[in-house]
A and B are shown apart, each in its own frame.
Chain A
Amino acid sequence: MAKIIGNEALSEDIYIIIIEGKFSGEIGQFYMLRGWEEYPLLSRPLSIYDINDGNISFLYKVIGKGTKRLSELKEGDNINLQGPYGNGFPKVDGKVALVGGGIGIAPLLYTGKILEDKVDKLDIYLGFREEAILTDEYRKYSDELYLSIGSNITDQLDINKYDYIFTCGPEPMMKKIVDMKSDNNTKIYVSLEKHMACGIGACLVCSCETKKGMTRVCKDGPVYLGEEVFYE
């Protein structure tokens, strides 16, 4: 059990929850969160937004019962965290762009923070539907921050400028990036989202068929090489 030290709304349905304690995690990994005893039955998988010395935080959007319940938790309440789980973004060097759309920006802050010093160039692209959030936070870790509100963030992206693209967001956005022609052999990694139950690769409810066969988003993912994924 850990203690919640903050849980605030950044916009109508986007929240950031901060939990006290010493936590670890690689870029692109997630935790299973549970801030209630019995119901909803399942814990909720959320990717790591940030880790500091004495706390970990998660950025989330209220979608269903679990995230609604999460948003009602108060400072001082207890919460259970299992993790870190999953296969996150690779440790790379060279020129890197992080591209997030909507709540898909969540795993990219910590990713930027860890990669910033290690790569030659780190640009961050954030796309929002109605209003931009946390831009100052993302700017801290980026050489160049690109924003779009109500338009396609991918319109601003030239993948040939980069060796690696890490992206998380709506599937059409990620697919658009994967479909871009690269003269530069740019490697694109996508972070997927699925409903999960166990979170550790045992129950197979988050299975995802890829060009390499059946995989588990919670264990083999959530991060995949973009070209291996079948998009809807």
Chain B
Amino acid sequence: MSNTQVNFSSIEFKNPVITASGTFGFGREYNEIYDINALGGISTKGITLKRRRGNKGMRIWETPSGIMNSVGLENPGVDDFIRDELPFLKKLDTNMIVNIGGSTLEEYIEAVDRVSKQKVDMIELNISCPNVKEGGMAFGIKTKTARKIVKEIRQITNIPLIIKLSPNAEDIVAIARACEEEGADGISLINTFKGLAIDINNRKPIFDNIYAGLSGPAIKPIALRMVNEVYKEVSIPIMGMGGIMNWKDGIEFMMAGATCIQVGTANFINPHICIEIIKGIEDFMDRENIKSLEEIIGII
């Protein structure tokens, strides 16, 4: 059997397939469906300092080839996460990436500080959630603000740190470069695109929060292009995502420059999809006589 192992910065992943934040909870539900230890890693539901109830009104809307969501970072807050969810995650034999969001720099710092006192494999700093009115994505639009937050966070944690970037950024390559310069261990991209859906009969937006995040196959070509552009300009590794629906899409992202891939929307369509993607990658390696995935990462 092929060796699907990849090294992402200092961390070893048994395979490059990671579940994307917000689509997989804290792993418990999917673990009832299959053994999630088979995954390369899990990126948790985004955690904020304080509990958040999330957005009111409609939270999901289908579009041609995609879905829009407006969950708004509903989560139990960092302390309840550490008490109620982390013990389960710690027992798993897969890499645990804790995704952290926030509205202010102080909130990010405090949440990261509390998580850093725990044993976790990696922190994914979410500066790209489009569904939180008072901020979140605001940190991921301008290079200057992104640089500032990465610099501050890097000073308070020794845990491997990756920054999740927004496709809505003014210059995604410049932001990625700033993350690298400020000491990030990796980049994950992309989060959802900010979009709008309208109920014409009621003459109102579908979502109470007006704008929502678009994911799914609709965004894949753009995500792939952004991964490729960032790959060419930074030397820290990339977790690529955006509309990965099957193993072929995953290979495309790796060829574009991603060391690991994150799978989100596809989990909803087929709860077993990550296992099928891992198998598909193994079979592809066998057929193509690929000894290590490093042979194909960033060949485009």
Contacts of B267 in A (CB 8 A): 198, 202
Give a binary string over A52-84; 1 marks a CB under 8 Å from any B CB, 0 the rest: 000000000000010000000000000000100
Of the candidates B53, B67, B271, the one whose C-beta lies within 8 Å of that of A82 is: B271
Looking at A34, A43, A201, A205, the one whose CB has the most chain B CB atoms below 10 A away is: A205
**In the bound complex, what is the Cα–Cα distance between A202 and B71 (angstroms)?**
12
The stretch of A5-13, A135-143, A206-214 that contacts the partner chain? A206-214
Closest to B272 in A: A82
**Which of B24, B54, B58, B64 sits near A39, CB closer than 8 Å?**
B64
Closest residue of chain B to A80 (Cβ to Cβ) is B270
Interface size in chain A (residues, C-beta < 8 A):
25
Which interface class (under 10, 10 to 19, 20 to 34, 35 or more) fits B? 20 to 34
A205, B60: Cβ atoms closer than 8 Å: yes
Verify if A40 is at the interface (C-beta below 8 Å from B). yes
A42-B67, A214-B54 known; A197 and B60 CB under 8 Å? yes
Contact partners of B54 in chain A: CB under 8 A: 204, 207, 214
The B interface, classified by DSSP as helix, strand, loop or mixed, is: loop
A202 touches B67 (CB 8 A): no
A18 contacts B by Cβ under 8 Å: no
Interface flags, B59-75, vs A, CB<8A=1, else 0: 11110111101010010
With A39-B64, A65-B62 known as contacts, the answer to whether A202 contacts B269 (CB < 8 A) is no
Chain A residues positioned under 8 Å from B32 (CB to CB)? 200
Min CB–CB distance B47 → chain A (angstroms) = 13
Is the beta-carbon distance between A198 and B23 smaller than 8 angstroms?
Answer: yes
Q: Is the CB of A197 within 8 A of B67?
A: yes
The answer to whether A202 and B24 touch across the interface, beta carbons within 8 angstroms, is: yes
Contact A205 B59 (CB under 8 A): yes
In the complex, the answer to whether A41 meets B269 with C-beta atoms within 8 Å is yes
8 nearest CB pairs, A to B: A202-B25, A205-B60, A205-B59, A197-B268, A202-B29, A200-B29, A201-B29, A198-B268
Interchain residue pairs with CB less than 8 A apart (5): A41-B65, A196-B60, A204-B54, A205-B59, A206-B59
